[in-house]
């Protein structure tokens, strides 16, 4: 989803992740995975085993859970089953505490912001509009075409390149180790959100090499104070 506004190269630009960051949906994501595995007759997935094994790409994550490789047909079935269940559950999900206040703070500061998500765009854009926050973003980019479940590095790089011009100062606010890796590869800063019930264990997030905070308010405090994001 594109807008006409352009990035001010001298101002800070905030790139938001969606699932688990602006949208409080980690419980729905885990529940949908549990349901997809049960539907396929695969080994039981629990919240504990999910967080212990979670990684991207998602296919590798599934292989960790199953303990063997996943063939192409099985991958497609699991992916479809996950999305079918998730999009029922996400109707009950709300924005993360502090999300609206954080978006408004970025706007008040005269910074720019955009949304870069690994959720397919056909699902992402209607959800953003349903929550009434589309007007905050210069761009909203989800996955397009048939790409599913990969890592965020290439997607984030493309998202930044489509901003006009590419921002010279940017920070990604996300909730996974993959967000931190993508930010590092793209040459931007990163702050991770750990509300205590996300997709990773807190111990895993602590290995990402970027600041980890418990709330969006704390993330914004780091941004406002312009602390060095690359140190914990």
In the chain, which stretches have pLDDT less than 50? Answer: 1-5, 228, 230-232
Q: What are the residues whose beta carbons fall under 8 Å from the beta carbon of 154, sequence distance 6 or more? A: none
Judged by phi (left if over 0) then psi (alpha if -120 to 50, else beta), residue 129 lies in alpha
- Position 231 scores a pLDDT of 37
What is the model's pTM? Answer: 0.91
Determine the Cα–Cα distance for residues 15 and 117; give it in Å rounded to an integer.
10
Find the radius of gyration of the CA atoms of the chain: 17
- Position 6 scores a pLDDT of 56
Q: What is the per-residue DSSP string for 154-210? A: HHHHHHHHHSSSPPSEEEEEESSHHHHHHHHHHT-EEEEE--SSSSS-HHHHGGGSS
For 21, which DSSP code?
A: T
Q: Which two tokens stand for residue 147?
A: 């790409």
Q: Which two tokens stand for residue 117?
A: 């998500």
Q: Phi/psi at 188 (nearest 5 deg)?
A: -120, 165
Enumerate domains of the chain plus CATH numbers.
Answer: 12-24+94-225 (3.40.50.1000), 26-92 (1.10.150)
SS3 226: coil
- Position 164 scores a pLDDT of 85
Q: Residue 212: beta bridge partners?
A: 192
- Position 60 scores a pLDDT of 95
- Position 232 scores a pLDDT of 34
CB 48 within 8 A of CB 33: no
Beta strands in the chain (DSSP E): 12-16, 112-120, 140-143, 169-174, 189-193, 212-213
CB 69 within 8 A of CB 62: no
């Amino acid at each position: 989803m594109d807008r006409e506004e352009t990035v001010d190269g001298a101002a800070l630009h905030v790139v938001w992740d969606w699932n688990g960051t602006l949208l409080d949906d980690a419980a729905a994501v885990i529940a949908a995975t549990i349901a997809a595995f049960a539907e396929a007759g695969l080994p039981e997935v629990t919240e504990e085993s999910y967080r212990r094994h979670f990684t991207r790409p998602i296919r590798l994550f599934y292989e960790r859970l199953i303990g063997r490789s996943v063939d192409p047909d099985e991958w497609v079935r699991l992916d479809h089953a996950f999305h079918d269940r998730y999009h029922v559950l996400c109707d009950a999900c709300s924005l993360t505490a502090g999300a609206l206040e954080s978006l408004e703070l970025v706007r008040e500061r005269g910074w720019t912001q955009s949304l870069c998500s690994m959720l397919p765009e056909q699902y992402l854009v209607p959800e953003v509009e349903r929550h009434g926050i589309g007007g905050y973003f210069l761009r909203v980019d989800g996955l397009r075409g048939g790409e599913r479940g990969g890592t965020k590095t290439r997607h984030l790089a493309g998202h930044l390149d489509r901003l006009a011009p590419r921002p010279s100062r940017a920070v990604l606010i996300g909730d996974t180790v993959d967000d931190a890796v993508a930010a590092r590869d793209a040459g931007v800063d990163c702050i991770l959100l750990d509300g205590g019930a996300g997709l990773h264990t807190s111990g895993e997030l602590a290995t990402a090499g970027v600041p980890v905070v418990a709330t969006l308010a704390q993330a914004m405090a780091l941004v406002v104070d312009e602390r060095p994001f690359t140190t914990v």
